[in-house]
A and B are shown apart, each in its own frame.
Chain A
Amino acid sequence: MEKSKIAEELRPFFDPAAVAIIGATDKKGKVGNVIFENFRTNKERGIFRGNIYPVNPKLDEIEGYRCYHNIKEVPDDVELAVISIPAKFVPATMKDIAEKGIKAVIIITGGFGELGEEGKRMEREIYEIARANGIRVIGPNCVGVYVPDTGIDTVFLPDEKMDRPKSGPIAFVTQSGAFAAAMLDWAAGAGIGIGKMVSYGNKLDVDDADLMEYFIHDDEIKVVTFYIEGVKDGRKFIEAARRITQVKPVIALKSGRTEYGAKAASSHTGSLAGADRIYDAVFKQTGIIRAEDFEHMFDMAKAFAKCKLPKGDRIGIITDGGGAGVMASDAVAKFGLKMAELSEETLKFLKENFPPHAVAGNPTDVVGDTDAQRYKVAIEAFVNDPNVDAIVIITLFQVPLLDEMELIDILSEYAKKSDKPIVAVAMGGKKTEHYAGILEDRGVPVYPTPERGVRAMAGLVQYARYLGRRKE
């Protein structure tokens, strides 16, 4: 029952049949103009399939679209309203929206609770209207929602200033609008696909827990990433987190590692319990994987998006450079994983099929004169070895005899057919980046250093362990 309720309540934010843009304008660079243009161009491209209704009391038409003076004048049903008008007009507009029967509202406008008492009062008024009329609200003071598949894009930073990422199975949720914009731009550059982005700003209504509940049932999304500044309702957060982590991984980056506990506490325990330690506890108990930083978060997200979950923590490493193999082995120990002990059969198979100067073992070093077929021998052996749970393959594409595309074919084929997770590490410059991009498009996550590749794998192991424990 709960399932269909939250899924249906939040659906219009991600796939509305019609959107009203309240505060749409033809003045270039204004927030209301960028948002309108985002929808208009996405409609022209055939990505956004709903109707668009600009609303502005001073305009009759924008770019060939009829502009309505009030939302109530729009003749057809509207599923989503995006508001970018000054804060003082928002409460009255909310009443109109309620009368019009719209159930989903994104308030981009800032200048509410973050600025003081009057803003807080307006927020309460908006909240009361929303509650009384069954309206769900994202924002205020946010950049809203970005969904590349359905053409929803309320991010008011224009295309020429901020690249938009392609679609993918990663959801990203953040309070901060600036962080959302920077992250989208970065993800676009890094080739990371984002299926849904939500920036909820002041979190008047829709919060982390609601979004977790929604993503439980969202088949497009395989992994959910959160940048968390603070949680309002801890119990609700814990319950939602426990539910979603049964179904898909959640990664959180928590800012504000400063301690607040010491001042208020009169017990020893209280003085030791900073906010950071409490969040650590919450994440551990709910199976949320904590990221150390932004890079760590998306390194793991990429692995979850592309890899199967490992059955254990025994890592096999294949490399064509000895040094990189040692770095990866160090990382295995550092991140609490184990080096797999290869079976006798594997070692025998490798020795039979390797030239004498290649190293059979863990790491297995195919050495600098390798070709793609020698990699294939090693991967085949590791995939079939019951002592290996997960495989890290280091490919220094620079070695002379290696046919890059042949190796990419082999890697992506094994990644697909093996039930073990495989991540690749490719260190190098522009040429390496080129091949790494192709390999990623073919479904294998690629990392620029052994340490980052192994750390991403450690995330998979951590989540697999959590699921294993829940089933006990």
Chain B
Amino acid sequence: MKEEALKIIEDVLAQGRKSLVEFEAKEILKAYGLPVPNEKLAKTLEEALRYAEEIGYPVVLKLMSPQILHKSDARVVLLNIKNPEELKEKWEEIHENARKYRPDAEILGVLVAPMLKVGREIIIGVTEDPQFGHALMFGLGGIFVEILKDVTFRIIPIEEKDAWKMLREIKGYPILAGARGEPPADMKAIVDLMLKVSKLIDDLRDYIKEMDLNPVFVYPEGEGAVIVDARIILK
């Protein structure tokens, strides 16, 4: 786990970067058993077409560049691509968007990802406090975090009972528990996610400064969760 993660981190540091692109961040998460979608990094259109067949249409394209961290601003995330013809068009479009946004952008490749079923959005993050070290954050995604700042923190490492308490103490908890006739969300999957992030950071605390898993889709009980987007910032 740690060796794989360290290899990625060292590669990034060797390139003089502090920010991991989504693909790199997800490789680290994967090494720690965290649920990431079945995605592949395509360097060429041919690779992209092959991966799309393997994953199954519709797919999503996400362009990976260390210079483009806010992908939606740069319009380098293109959703719901239904067939190879469309993929060829979008391949051109995504590169053009990147060039327009940052002509000097170095392009590491294009992530080919499955279209995910939308779930309830949560955010899990990590920050480093100068006195107490790394802290884990949990909250509901979207307006809950953006506007209401309905989030809660614990110092890493956390125990399972901390994770359950965090889950229940946010104001938006009823949304996870199943408000308005919705089935309850897969809480165990969320707790498992928090514990794995805690373990990951505890192992890599000398390297990682901050992390955002935002959003994470959580599905109904028994159906798990998946990390849609991820950022890691190194020290």
- Tell me the A residues contacting B by CB distance below 8 Å: 230-235, 237-238, 261, 265-270, 272-273, 275, 277-278, 280-282, 284-285, 469, 472
Q: Are B133 and A234 in contact (CB under 8 A)?
A: yes
Instruction: Tell me if B132 and A238 are in contact (CB < 8 A).
Output: yes
Interface residue? B67 (CB, 8 A): no
Shortest Cβ gap from A28 to chain B (Å): 43
Give the docked Cα–Cα distance between A266 and B161 (Å): 29
Whether A273 lies near B129 (C-beta < 8 A) is: yes
Q: Which residues of B lie under 8 Å from residue A231 when comparing CB positions?
A: 131-132
Cβ of A261 and Cβ of B154 under 8 Å apart? Answer: no
A391 → chain B closest CB, angstroms: 28
Give bound CA distance, A205 to B139, whole Å. Answer: 38
Contact A278 B214 (CB under 8 A): no
A265-B127, A267-B210, A267-B212 known; A272 vs B132 contact (CB < 8 Å): no
Q: In the bound complex, how far is the Cα of B214 from the Cα of A134, in angstroms?
A: 50
B132: chain A residues within 8 A (beta carbon):
231, 234-235, 237-238, 278, 281-282
Docked CA distance A266–B153 (Å): 18
Q: Which of B5-13, B30-38, B99-107, B144-152 contacts A (4 or more CB under 8 A)?
A: B144-152
1/0 contact string of B85-129 vs chain A (CB within 8 Å)? 000000000000000000000000000000000000001011111
By beta carbon, the residue of chain B nearest A260 is: B130
Known interface pairs A272-B149, A273-B153, A469-B161; A278-B129 also in contact (CB < 8 Å): yes
Least CB distance from B229 to A in Å reads 11
Extra 10 A-B pairs, beta carbons < 8 Å, given A232-B131, A268-B123, A272-B139: A234-B155, A265-B127, A268-B125, A268-B145, A269-B127, A272-B125, A272-B149, A273-B129, A273-B153, A278-B153
Look across to chain B and name the residue whose beta carbon is closest to the beta carbon of A268. Answer: B212
Interface string of B202-234 (1 = CB under 8 A from A): 000000001110100000000000000001010
User: Does B48 interact with chain A (Cβ within 8 Å)?
Assistant: no
Which single member of A233, A237, A270, A284 contacts B154 (CB below 8 Å)?
A284
Chain A contact residues: helix, strand, loop or mixed? helix
Q: A281-B153, A285-B155 are contacts. A234–B129 as well, Cβ < 8 Å?
A: yes
Does B43 have its Cβ within 8 Å of any Cβ on chain A?
no
Q: What chain B residues lie within 8 Å of A472 (beta carbons)?
A: 161
Q: Is the CB of B154 within 8 A of A281?
A: yes
Closest to B161 in A: A469
B153 partner, pick from A232, A233, A268, A280, beta carbons under 8 A: A280
Q: Which residue of chain A lies nearest to B137 when distances are taken between CB atoms in the complex?
A: A269
| Bound-complex Cα distance A273 to B126 (A) | 9
Residues of A within 8 A of B126 (CB): 267, 269
- Contact of B140 with A by CB under 8 A: no
A-B contact pairs, 23 of them (CB 8 A): A238-B155, A265-B127, A266-B19, A266-B233, A267-B127, A268-B123, A268-B214, A269-B125, A269-B127, A269-B210, A269-B212, A270-B125, A270-B210, A272-B127, A272-B149, A272-B151, A273-B135, A277-B153, A278-B129, A278-B132, A281-B132, A285-B154, A285-B162
Give Cα A278 to B137, complex, Å. Answer: 10
Q: Which of B161, B162, B165, B211 contacts A267 (CB 8 A)?
A: B211
Closest to B146 in A: A268
Given A267-B125, A269-B210: A284 in contact with B165 (beta carbons within 8 A): yes
Q: A284 — which chain B residues lie within 8 A by C-beta? A: 154, 162, 165
Query: What distance in Å separates the Cβ of A175 from its nearest Cβ neighbour in chain B?
Result: 14
Q: Nearest Cβ in chain B — how far from A252, in angstroms? A: 14
Chain A nearest CB: distance from B144 CB in Å?
12
Q: Please, which residue of chain A has its CB at the minimum distance from the CB of B232?
A: A267
Cβ distance B198 to chain A, nearest Cβ, rounded Å? 12
The total of chain B residues at the interface (CB under 8 A) is 30
Bound form: Cα–Cα A314–B135 in Å: 33
Known A273-B153, A285-B162; contact A235-B212, beta-carbon cutoff 8 A:
no
Whole-angstrom distance from the CB of A272 to the nearest CB of chain B? 6
CB-CB under 8 A from A261, the residues of chain B are 127
Q: From residue A266, how far is it (CB to closest CB) to chain B in Å?
A: 6
- Closest chain-A Cβ to B231's Cβ sits at a distance in Å of 6
| Closest 4 pairs (CB-CB, A-B) | A269-B125, A234-B132, A267-B210, A234-B131
Partner of B131, one of A230, A270, A285: A230
- How far, in Å, is B1 (CB) from chain A's closest CB? 22
> Which residues of B lie under 8 Å from residue A272 when comparing CB positions?
125, 127, 137, 139, 145, 149, 151
Nearest opposing residue in chain B for A271, CB measure: B127
How distant is the Cα of A469 from the Cα of B163 in the complex, in angstroms?
A: 13
- Report chain B residues within 8 Å CB of A237: 131-132
For A286, give the chain B residue with the smallest CB separation. Answer: B155
Minimal Cβ-Cβ distance residue in A for B158: A285
Complex Cα–Cα for A269 and B128 (A): 10
Q: Which residues of A contact B233 (CB under 8 A)?
A: 266-267
Among candidates A265, A266, A267, A281, residue contacting B155 with C-beta atoms closer than 8 Å: A281
Residues of B within 8 A of A265 (CB): 127, 210
Most buried by B among A235, A237, A266: A266
Specify which of A230, A270, A281, A282 is in contact with B152 (CB 8 Å cutoff): A281
Complex CA distance for A233 and B130, rounded to whole angstroms:
9
In the complex the two chains form, what is the Cα distance from A282 to B162 in whole Å? 11
| Docked pose: A261 CA to B125 CA in angstroms | 14
The smallest C-beta distance from A472 to any residue of chain B, in angstroms, reads 7
Q: Specify which chain B residues have a CB less than 8 angstroms from the CB of A270 in the assembled complex.
A: 125, 127-128, 210
Contact A273 B127 (CB under 8 A): yes
Instruction: Kindly report which residue of chain A lies nearest to residue B132, judged by CB atoms.
Output: A234
Which of B139, B153, B214 is packed against the most chain A CB atoms within 10 Å?
B153
Contacts of A285 in B (CB 8 A): 154-155, 158, 162
* Chain A, residue nearest B149 (CB): A272
Least CB separation from B123: chain A residue = A268
User: In the complex, are the beta carbons of A269 and B133 less than 8 A apart?
Assistant: no
Please, which residues of chain B bring their CB within 8 A of the CB of A275? 129
A281 to B198, CA, bound (A): 14
Find out whether the CB atom of B153 lies under 8 angstroms from the CB atom of A235: no
Chain A residue at smallest Cβ distance from B139: A272
Rounded to whole angstroms, the CA-CA distance of A104 and B210 in the bound complex is: 42
Across-interface contacts of A269 in B (CB, < 8 A): 123, 125-127, 137, 210-212
- With a CB–CB cut-off of 8 A, which chain A residues contact B214? 268
Asked whether A282 lies within 8 Å of B127 as measured between CB atoms, the reply is no
Residues of B within 8 A of A234 (CB): 129, 131-133, 155
User: Which residues does chain A contribute within 8 Å of B152, judged by CB atoms?
Assistant: 277, 281
B121 CB → nearest A CB, Å: 13
